[in-house]
Structure 1
Amino acid sequence: MEKWLVINWHAIFVPSMSVLELIIRGSLVYLALFLVLRWLPSRQMGTLGITDLLVVVLFAEAAQNAMASNYTSITEGAILVGTVIFWSYLLNWLGYKLPQFQRLLNPPPLLLVKNGKMIHRHLERELITEDELMSKLRQQSIEYLEDVKLAFMEADGSISVITSDSKTNLITPEKNKSKSDLS
């Protein structure tokens, strides 16, 4: 009963390993997982499938041990969380500031359909079947492939479609100005 009331403050707040080692471990695991996930195909097209969920859970389990090697203090957990947040922010900031770095973070849109014709090598690259593509087109109220001028797989796995009857709306500087700017 006495153990219930005893608090080991040292174990709660004092790291059991070097802070620098925690930062290095967290950085290496974050960057390795980022690269692995960046190059996996976006098969589920904007949804989280069961295999994706399984990968995330297994990555989390493997990463926990690799990053901290059984850490026990709150401080160690906070350092690891801070390291992951740092890398996430830094990569997003670099992508914003350096357009060429953005291609590493987010792949460019991949053309799947052009003028009503599927581009099979791109479908194969992303492991998308014709039936899956047609399902996504139907969800956007497109019945016939011939009605599709262009269809792209976006970086987030979603499909964007431009139909043959779409009109392009070009934004000119005059259309962008508010009434107060024009006076």
Structure 2
Amino acid sequence: MFDLSVPWWELLARAALVYGALLAMVRVSGKRSVGQFTPFDLLVVMLLSEGVSNGLTGGEASVTGSLLIAATLIGCNALVGFIASRSRKAEAWIEGTPVLIARDGRVFEHTLRAHRVGRGDMEKALREADCREQDVQYAFLEADGNISILKKPPTA
């Protein structure tokens, strides 16, 4: 139950490698926060976890091995957070940067498509901001997947 069947350092290396690979894949996959997951996105995340579990453990089934893997993943996450808080370049790569998706009442449809944002998401953001499309000064797709709307100033 507590005896490891593989060397402890192998579990740490496997966990760090899988963490890094998944971080890169999730980062490349787009700007969607957990709260914005569609059923398809959630299914992919669940299957990813199942798909990498054997790669993480290497056949290790002990409690000790599981705790080592969990600690390594949490440590990797803390390290990535630390690095992102100290480096703007790392933060931009890890978390992403805002993207301009509308300006002066004109929505950039090609940019929405490029970032896999549906027109319905844009319309929802406009409703939440109590703003008509023609009243938009700027709209940004934030790094976390939310859409920020800045209205044109009222004309006197």
1:24 aligns with 2:33: no
Q: CA RMSD in A?
A: 1.7
The equivalent residue for 2:149 is 161
Q: Give the deviation of 1:44 after TM superposition.
A: 7.5
Q: Deviations over 1:4-48 (max 9, x none)?
A: xxxxxxxx1111111111011111111101000001123689512
Gaps of at least 5 residues in structure 1 are 1-11, 167-183
Q: Which has the higher contact order (CA 8 A, sep 6+)?
A: 2
State whether structure 2 residue 137 is matched by structure 1 residue 146. no
CA distance in 2, matches of 1:165, 1:45: 33
* Alpha-carbon distance between aligned partners in 2 of 1:45 and 1:69, rounded to the nearest angstrom: 28
Aligned in 2, Cα 1:93/1:43: closer, same or farther, shift over 3 Å? closer
SS in 2 for 1:13: coil
Name the % identity.
Answer: 27
1:178 aligned residue: none
Match of 2:97 among 108, 127, 144: 108
Q: Of residues 43, 49, 54 in structure 2, which corresponds to 1:60? A: 49
Shift of residue 51, structure 1, vs aligned partner = 1.2
Deviation at 1:74, TM superposition (A): 0.7
- Whole-angstrom CA distance in 1 between matches of 2:49 and 2:149: 35
Residue 4 of structure 1: aligned partner: none
How many residues align structurally?
154
Tell me the TM-score normalized by structure 1.
0.78
Question: Counterpart amino acid of 1:149?
Answer: Q
Q: Partner letter of residue 157 of structure 1? A: G
**Residues 45 and 157, structure 1, Cα contact 8 Å, conserved in 2:** no
Structure 2 unaligned residues grouped into runs of 5+: none
Cα distance change, pair 43–81 in 1 and its aligned pair in 2 (3 A): closer
Q: Give 1:107 deviation, angstroms.
A: 0.9
Task: Determine the structure 1 residue equivalent to 2:67.
Answer: 78
Amino acid at match of 2:141: M
Contact kept in structure 2, 1:114 and 1:148, CA below 8 Å: yes
